[in-house]
Homo-oligomer: A and B are copies of this chain.
Amino acid sequence: MRNTHILSNQTPQQVRGVAIIGASGYTGAELIRILLAHPYVTIEILTGDSSAGKDIGEIYPHLRFKNLPPLKKLEEVHPALVAGSGIDLVFCCLPHGTTQTVIAGLPKHMKVIDLSADFRLADPAEYAKWYGHAHQAAELQKEAVYGLTEIVRGQIKDARLVANPGCYPTSAALPLIPLLKNSVINHDIIIDSKSGVTGAGRSAKQPNLFTEIDGGMSAYGIANHRHAPEIEQTLGRAAGKNLKVTFTPHLIPMSRGILSTIYVQLAGKNTADDVRATLQKTYTNEQFVHILPAGVAPTTHQVRGTNDCVIGVFADRIPGRAIIVSVIDNLVKGASGQAVQNMNVMFGWPEETALQMSAIFP
């Protein structure tokens, strides 16, 4: 039994209607899974161009059941559809690069949480460099709040447009930001990240076939992944100056989960224990960030299906260095869960609403 606010709730909350644009991908489905358990939200609109006219159960059989609340059929995205509805917030789950004009076309009174990368980079030049074209909604880009909830929840509360952080950046930024802010580490940072395959999305691509993935692993996007500038922007803000990181993502034969192994140089006389203490202090009142005691390493099994981030800190054999291991579920804290967490902040609800699930293991 949980002593949740929900049961003891005295002041009835206003129910909010939301739309999920691009509901046919994995982040869309995961949003539905989470929001079905949300006491103050109704899903009013689902869009998915290639799936328009279908029930969600036809494209996601695990969301088919009669004991779930009924959902509307998927529709084609068009501005009027959303604009004319009474919904309060739009989750935008479209592929990177396709979302700027869609969001620009939404009425200004609607809040927006964008799960793509389109509004994450604040610098137009940086965006153009990594995505190969000028940003198509430059004003919105300036306005967007990069939504790492634990770090900037004050800004999120008042934001109209939240750029939901990427999965790799979330796994790296949660441990690193407090260390940079408190000058516990210097700026020489190596992030070796391993991800499950859901990060690659649901579109049919030969390299992501079961038979191509099962039983093997590989590095990809080495020194060239679009999450690198996103990480650097985030860490640079914490450090108060520009920095560059080494970042290598890997594809692991499992569906969900990111594990980032982070190699840091300790500033001054700091030790791994200082790193751990700083993180413990920073996150002591946070529901979703967990700092493990010395000697204990996290596993992605701990966070499968949850909005948690678990972090372990270790002294390296080489003096002056520490190794940080951070795990999240890339679809939850790395995408749809953090999006719901941000929505909860935006609407003034308890941040953990609909996010108190235990992990599924085994």
Contacts and interface: CB of A to CB of B under 8 A. Distances in A.
A209 B204 contact: yes
Contact of A314 (B43, B198, B202, B223): B223
A11 to B, nearest CB: 13
A263 B323 CA distance: 14
A61 B314 contact: no
- Residue in A1, A2, A300 whose Cβ sees the most chain B Cβ within 10 Å: A1
A223 B60 CA distance: 24
A110 interface: no
Contacts of A356: 37, 67
Contacts of A67: 287-288, 308, 352, 356
Interface size class of A (residues with CB under 8 A): 35 or more
A255 B205 contact: no
A181 to B, nearest CB: 22
Nearest to A290: B65
Interface string A206-224: 1011111111111110111
A197 B252 CA distance: 13
B194 A194 contact: yes
A1 B219 contact: no
Given A1-B41, A194-B217, A211-B208, A62 B302 contact: yes
A357 interface: yes
A67 to B, nearest CB: 4
Interface string A314-330: 11111001010100000
Contacts of A290: 64-66
Given A2-B69, A35-B1, A192-B192, A304 B254 contact: no
Interface in A274-304: 287-288, 290, 297-304
A223 to B, nearest CB: 5
Contact of A259 (B209, B219, B314): B219
Contact of A217 (B257, B287, B352): B257
Interface string A32-72: 11011111111100000000000000001111111111000
A361 B56 CA distance: 13
Nearest to A2: B69
Nearest to A319: B244
A137 interface: no
Contacts of A217: 194, 252, 254, 257, 259, 299-300
A305 to B, nearest CB: 5
A36 B218 contact: no
B261 A250 contact: yes
A255 B214 contact: yes
B301 A62 contact: yes
A32 B361 CA distance: 11
Contacts of A80: none
A253 interface: yes
A2 B62 contact: no
16 contacts: A2-B37, A37-B357, A63-B358, A190-B190, A194-B252, A197-B211, A202-B206, A202-B209, A208-B209, A209-B209, A210-B255, A215-B257, A218-B298, A223-B317, A246-B321, A246-B323
